[in-house]
Amino acid sequence: MDAGAVTTILANPRYTGRQVWNRQRTDKDLADPADVRLGHKDVQWWNLPDGRVISKRPAHPALVSEADFVAVQDVSAARGPAPRGEVSPPDRRRYLLAGIIVCGTCGRRMESAWSNGRAAYRCRHGRTTASAPSLERPKNAYVREDRILPHLPAPAPAGRISRRDPETAYPPGNRRPAPGHRGRDQLPA
């Protein structure tokens, strides 16, 4: 069980043995506001805790004691919401190094990923390929863009960097892709 599952269990009053109603509501929103002909879609929203209804008596065996549940809620309230930075919709996210960053472990091109409100890059070392996973496969690698940018040389004048030219396609210190790896700049024209 991962940390996210444990957090979800500890935040849900149902696991104290109580029945809980009205945690979510379903609204009907336009599927595409620009084209009303597409109709509506169901959208679920979380209700605020003060709008929930919790049974007075336990309805089933508890997985979490009420004392533990209350203690977790107190800790969560003391921490407040997680810092997020400015969250932007996926169509407005910018990855300055997309297609350029290469994993130093396996040589694959790193994927762009949004992490905690910031641009980041990850390599899953072939986990998404059809080949069977190996026990020797390294752990996933993650690096935030703001940790990389200060270490890069000043930008070259416009027109100097070409993704097709192997001498200028990769910043100094980055490994080139593994032999036989077909990245975006190696696809047939």
DSSP state of 176: P
Query: What does 143-167 look like in DSSP terms, one character per residue?
Result: EEHHHHGGGSPPPPPTT---TT-TT
For residue 113, give every residue at least 6 positions away whose Cβ sits within 8 Å of its Cβ, in sequence order, or none: 120, 121, 122, 142
User: Could you report the per-residue pLDDT of 117-152, keeping only the tens digit for each?
Assistant: 788 998 887 666 666 667 777 888 889 998 988 888
Please state, in angstroms and as integers, the Cα–Cα distance from residue 86 to each residue in 79, 83, 92, following that order: 19, 9, 12
Please give the share of the chain, as a percent, with pLDDT higher than 90. Answer: 2
Query: What does 76-115 look like in DSSP terms, one character per residue?
Result: HHHH-SPP------GGG---TTTTT-B-TTT-PBPEEEEE
pLDDT at 180: 54
What is the C-alpha end-to-end distance of the chain, expressed in Å? 46
Q: Can you read off the two tokens belonging to residue 116? A: 């905690």
pLDDT at 3: 72
For residue 62, give every residue at least 6 positions away whose Cβ sits within 8 Å of its Cβ, in sequence order, or none: 15, 16, 17
**Predicted confidence band at 186 (pLDDT cuts at 50, 70, 90)?**
very low
Domain residue ranges of the chain, discontinuous segments joined by +: 3-79, 84-178
pLDDT at 61: 92
User: Could you report the per-residue pLDDT of 12-38, keeping only the tens digit for each?
Assistant: 888 889 888 888 888 888 888 888 888
